[in-house]
């Protein structure tokens, strides 16, 4: 005998209250949430691990002429007669001795030209610790010159290298006879931008990832603001930036900001009382060229603006840059 179904209920209807008959969709949604959470945690973990790894990358000095100094070995290059008046060339952030190469032959015809790779740059050591403060970099340049037997020198700095040159003069007024600054910003208000790539590099975690994945194209876009619009970025300069560590780049950049925050550069230079030449490309995309006027308040300063030139005159117009520097050297005591 077959039982009849209960009134109002179909034979195949499932009781939704039965625990073993819950809809499969609920299990699927829960599984997707677990997978998404696990994936997110994995990605975050990988990003943090990459950031830590990139932050602690270091490299030894690799140059042909290495000076062993406190805090790290330094690479130097020398050209010209050893008994001639000394010129010291100091590059800017992310650069190296190679940035001066175009004007060295002209300068070395009458001077002993010494180019220095700052700590963290070029072929000098790239430690993970300290030593990147501008004052420390300046003292280290002084130690290098002592080892080379230099007693007096005219010091030329490009961009942030101008801060190191000034710090050297603050520390060793006996050593520095005159200063020349090339596209060196006088204060932070004059800063324009280091471009979108430059901004992203300093964003925590994202910056380290970008540094890990950097390509020549990315680096070339970042370097484009170091020149007048449309100027082709030489491959050597791309290689210089690629050769840096993330820690060296960011530590040196923050050190320059700290140096300007403590005191504006024209005020520092006024206290020094040294002969001063300031060169600025009018098409500078990193520092407002109009800010060069701030140096006119420094007693005895000569300010030269170069039309059609951007942030790096010694590469964009080496002949004119070398000419301006030579005229300045010949006008100061001991410069010829």
**Residue 122 is encoded by which pair of tokens?**
């070029």
Q: Is the pLDDT of residue 110 over 90?
A: yes
Task: Quickly tell me which residue has 């979108």 as its tokens.
Answer: 196
Packing angle between helix 134-147 and helix 246-262, nearest 10 degrees?
100
Q: Name the band, by pLDDT with cuts 50, 70 and 90, for residue 3.
A: very low
Share of the chain above pLDDT 90, in %: 66
pTM above 0.75, yes or no: yes
Q: Are strands 74-79 and 66-67 parallel, antiparallel or unpaired?
A: antiparallel
Residue 62 confidence (pLDDT):
87
Q: Average pLDDT for residues 310-322, to the nearest whole number?
A: 98
Residue 331's pLDDT is 92
Instruction: Say what the pLDDT of residue 247 is.
Output: 87
Residue 67 sits at the vertex; the CA angle it makes with 106 and 64, to the nearest 5 degrees, is 60
d(CA 34, CA 296): 65
Sheet harboring 74-79: ordered strands across? 66-67, 74-79, 112-116, 86-90, 153-158, 176-182, 276-281, 301-306
pLDDT cut 70: percent of the chain above it: 80
Give the chain's largest Cα–Cα span.
Answer: 125
- pLDDT value for 218: 85
Both structure tokens of 298? 């420094």
**Mean pLDDT (whole number) for 52-62:** 66
Give residues with Cβ within 8 angstroms of 130, minimum separation 6. Answer: 71, 136, 251
Q: What is the pLDDT of residues 151-210, one digit of tens each?
A: 999 999 999 999 999 999 999 999 999 999 999 999 999 999 766 666 676 767 677 777
pLDDT of residue 50: 42
CA torsion, ordered 306, 308, 312, 313, to nearest 10 deg: -50
Question: Is residue 47 scored above 60 in pLDDT?
Answer: no
pLDDT at 32 over 70: no
Inter-CA distances, 225 with 68, 194, 310, 314, Å: 34, 6, 8, 15
Label residue 1 by pLDDT band (50, 70, 90).
very low
Range name among 22-26, 123-127, 311-315, 321-325 with the lowest pLDDT average: 22-26
Instruction: Kindly report, residue by residue over 223-267, the tens digit of the pLDDT.
Output: 999 999 999 999 999 999 889 888 899 899 999 999 999 999 999
Tokens of 328: 């300045």
Name the 3-class secondary structure at 223: helix
Determine the pLDDT at residue 193.
78
- Please name the residue that has the structure tokens 């943090």: 48
pLDDT value for 35: 62
Q: What rounded mean pLDDT belongs to the chain? A: 86
Contact predicate 280/183, CB 8 Å: yes
* Owner of token pair 């299990």: 27
């Amino acid at each position: 005998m077959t039982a009849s179904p209960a009134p109002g209920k179909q034979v195949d209807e499932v009781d939704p209250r039965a625990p073993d008959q819950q809809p499969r969709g609920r299990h699927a949604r829960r599984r997707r949430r677990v997978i998404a959470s696990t994936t997110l945690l994995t990605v975050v973990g990988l990003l943090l691990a990459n950031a830590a790894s990139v932050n602690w990358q270091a490299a030894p000095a690799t140059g042909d002429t290495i000076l062993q100094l406190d805090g790290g070995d330094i690479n130097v290059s020398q050209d010209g007669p050893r008994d001639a008046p000394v010129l010291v060339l100091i590059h800017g952030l992310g650069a190296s001795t190679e940035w001066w190469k175009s004007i060295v032959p002209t300068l070395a015809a009458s001077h002993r030209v010494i180019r220095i790779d700052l700590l963290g740059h070029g072929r000098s050591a790239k430690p993970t610790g300290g030593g990147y403060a501008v004052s420390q970099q300046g003292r280290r340049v002084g130690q290098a010159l002592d080892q080379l037997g230099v007693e007096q020198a005219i010091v030329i700095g490009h961009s942030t290298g101008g801060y190191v040159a000034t710090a050297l003069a603050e520390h060793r007024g006996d050593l520095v006879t005159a200063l020349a600054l090339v596209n060196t910003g006088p204060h932070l208000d004059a800063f324009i931008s280091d471009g979108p790539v430059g901004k992203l590099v300093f964003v925590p975690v994202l910056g380290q990832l970008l540094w890990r994945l950097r390509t020549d194209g990315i680096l070339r876009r970042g370097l484009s603001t170091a020149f007048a619009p449309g100027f082709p970025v030489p491959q050597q300069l791309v290689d210089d930036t690629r050769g840096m560590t993330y820690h060296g780049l960011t530590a040196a950049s923050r050190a320059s900001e700290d140096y300007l925050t403590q005191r504006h550069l024209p005020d520092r230079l006024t206290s020094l009382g040294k002969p001063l030449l300031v060169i600025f490309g009018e098409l500078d995309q990193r520092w407002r060229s109009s800010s060069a006027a701030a140096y006119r308040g420094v007693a005895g300063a000569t300010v030269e603006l170069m039309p059609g030139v951007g942030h790096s005159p010694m590469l964009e117009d080496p002949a004119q840059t070398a000419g301006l520097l030579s005229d300045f050297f010949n006008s100061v005591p001991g410069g010829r």
